[in-house]
């Protein structure tokens, strides 16, 4: 038997605000493998998340196979658009959902981790963050501000996390980010600069793999996941059509489950993947391998019906 064993490891997962997305699935998989898990949550969503946890509304999702319940070690406020608190506009810091949270920047999370656990306290860093304020706009209608915002929140934030958390990482640590196939080809409705932000994220991960591998022996990988109807993805508006399209054309014609991404993440963050870095692992039922649709006639009928 070759188990995934993360006992004694601590993970920080950036981008968990509910139980419906890949971030939560990854956090749970890491915990199932034995890791203690801290998460970073966007301040406007943090109050609701804490309330759901406190009232037991997420207990079924938190249930572990051994009958226990996933207990998050810490929940930190995190707005990854800001490297330091002074970078955030004063009007944002004055908003109710921000002002009571202290330092919600990436610097703030690094400082709190150090305060809570010491200087050498992290083994795994997961970047499950993406935001494009103009994602529903075609690229030809995307503003400079919207484009740069997508890159800052979805790509540069990974670099910033690496800069600030590597000094806290123990030897043989692992970093992981989440991407999407739009980094490699056209997904017509995935606009606002998000496709190029995902491409930048993958390129940056390769460079970080080299730099962090040479500097500290840390590994950096990316999971490119297929479409999944998380709350954030559903807000884009076309996710259910994408799921249907993948089911019709992927080699494995069933819908992707968040747990499948979580399991792949646990593997990549474990010693079983000690020789893997700078890699994009596709967890998309094999769709990325397809050059043309598998069922052209069925696809046309499906799209015609809407």
Going by the DSSP 8-state scheme, the letter that residue 53 receives in this structure is H
- The pLDDT assigned to 130 comes to 94
Paired with 107 in beta bridges are none
Paired with 223 in beta bridges are 178, 281
pLDDT digits (tens, 9 = 90+) for 260-270: 999 999 999 99
- Kind and range of the H or E run holding 37: strand 36-41
Q: Mean of the pLDDT values across residues 150-176?
A: 97
Q: Mean of the pLDDT values across residues 202-212?
A: 98
pLDDT at 295 over 90: no
Contact 253, 206 (CB under 8 A): no
Contact 161, 153 (CB under 8 A): no
Q: Mean of the pLDDT values across residues 21-38?
A: 98
pLDDT digits (tens, 9 = 90+) for 240-262: 788 888 888 899 988 999 999 99
pLDDT band at 292 (very low <50, low <70, confident <90, very high): confident
Q: Determine which one of 98, 180, 228, 246 is catalytic.
A: 180
- The pLDDT assigned to 235 comes to 56
pLDDT band at 239 (very low <50, low <70, confident <90, very high): confident
Q: For the residues of 57-117, what is the DSSP string, one character each?
A: TTHHHHB-TTS-B---SEEEE--TT-SSGGGS-HHHHTSHHHHTT---SHHHHHHHHHHHH
pLDDT at 136 over 80: yes
Strand order in the sheet with 74-77: 74-77, 36-41, 10-14, 122-127, 169-179, 219-225, 280-283
Phi/psi zone of residue 197: left (φ > 0), alpha (ψ -120 to 50 degrees), beta?
Answer: alpha
Q: Mean of the pLDDT values across residues 153-181?
A: 97
- The pLDDT assigned to 231 comes to 61
pLDDT at 236 over 80: no
pLDDT at 227 over 60: yes
pLDDT band at 230 (very low <50, low <70, confident <90, very high): low
pLDDT at 124 over 90: yes
Coil, helix or strand at residue 17? coil
Ranges of H-type helices in the chain? 22-32, 43-54, 59-62, 90-93, 96-99, 106-117, 144-151, 157-165, 194-216, 231-234, 239-249, 258-268, 296-305
Q: Mean of the pLDDT values across residues 272-289?
A: 96
Query: What's the CATH number of domain 10-233+256-288, 3.40.50.170, 1.10.3720.10, 3.40.50.720, 3.30.413.10?
Result: 3.40.50.720
Q: Is 287 a catalytic residue?
A: no
- The pLDDT assigned to 198 comes to 97
Q: Is 190 a catalytic residue?
A: yes
- The pLDDT assigned to 244 comes to 85
pLDDT at 232 over 70: no
Q: Mean of the pLDDT values across residues 54-81?
A: 96
- The pLDDT assigned to 129 comes to 96
- The pLDDT assigned to 306 comes to 53
Lowest mean pLDDT among 22-31, 66-75, 244-253, 291-300: 291-300
Task: Pull the structure tokens for residue 226.
Answer: 């297929």
pLDDT digits (tens, 9 = 90+) for 182-195: 999 998 888 999 99
- The pLDDT assigned to 300 comes to 56
Average pLDDT, rounded, for the chain: 93
Q: pTM score, two decimals? A: 0.93
Q: Determine which one of 76, 190, 282, 287 is catalytic.
A: 190
Q: Mean of the pLDDT values across residues 174-181?
A: 97
* Domains in the chain: boundaries: 10-233+256-288
Task: Pull the structure tokens for residue 265.
Answer: 């993440």
Query: By percentage, how much of the chain surpasses pLDDT 90?
Result: 82
């Amino acid at each position: 038997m070759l188990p995934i064993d993360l006992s004694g490891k601590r993970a920080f997962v950036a981008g968990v605000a509910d139980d419906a997305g890949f971030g939560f699935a990854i956090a749970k998989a890491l915990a199932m493998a034995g890791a203690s898990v801290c998460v970073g949550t966007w301040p406007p969503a943090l109050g609701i998340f804490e309330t759901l946890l406190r009232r037991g509304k997420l207990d079924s999702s938190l249930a572990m196979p051994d009958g226990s319940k996933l207990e998050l070690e810490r929940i930190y406020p995190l707005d990854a658009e800001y490297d330091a608190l002074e970078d955030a506009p004063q009007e944002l810091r004055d908003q109710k959902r921000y002002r009571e949270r202290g330092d919600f920047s990436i610097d703030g999370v690094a400082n709190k981790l150090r305060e809570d656990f010491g200087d050498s306290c992290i083994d795994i860093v997961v970047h499950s963050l993406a935001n494009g304020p103009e994602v529903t706009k075609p690229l030809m209608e995307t503003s400079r501000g919207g484009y740069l915002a997508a890159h800052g929140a979805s790509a540069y934030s990974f670099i910033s996390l690496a800069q600030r958390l590597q000094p806290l990482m123990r030897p043989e640590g692992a970093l992981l980010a989440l991407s999407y196939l739009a980094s490699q080809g056209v997904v017509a409705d995935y606009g606002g600069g998000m496709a190029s932000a995902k491409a930048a994220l993958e390129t940056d991960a390769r460079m970080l793999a080299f730099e962090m591998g040479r500097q500290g022996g840390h590994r950096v990988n990316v999971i490119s996941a297929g479409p999944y109807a998380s709350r954030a993805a559903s807000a884009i508006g076309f996710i259910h059509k994408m799921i249907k399209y993948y089911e019709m054309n992927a080699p494995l014609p069933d819908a992707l489950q968040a747990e499948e991404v979580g399991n792949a993440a646990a593997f990549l963050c474990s010693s079983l993947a000690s020789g893997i870095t700078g890699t994009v692992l596709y967890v998309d039922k094999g769709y990325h391998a397809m050059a043309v649709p598998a069922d052209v006639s069925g696809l046309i009928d499906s799209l015609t019906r809407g």
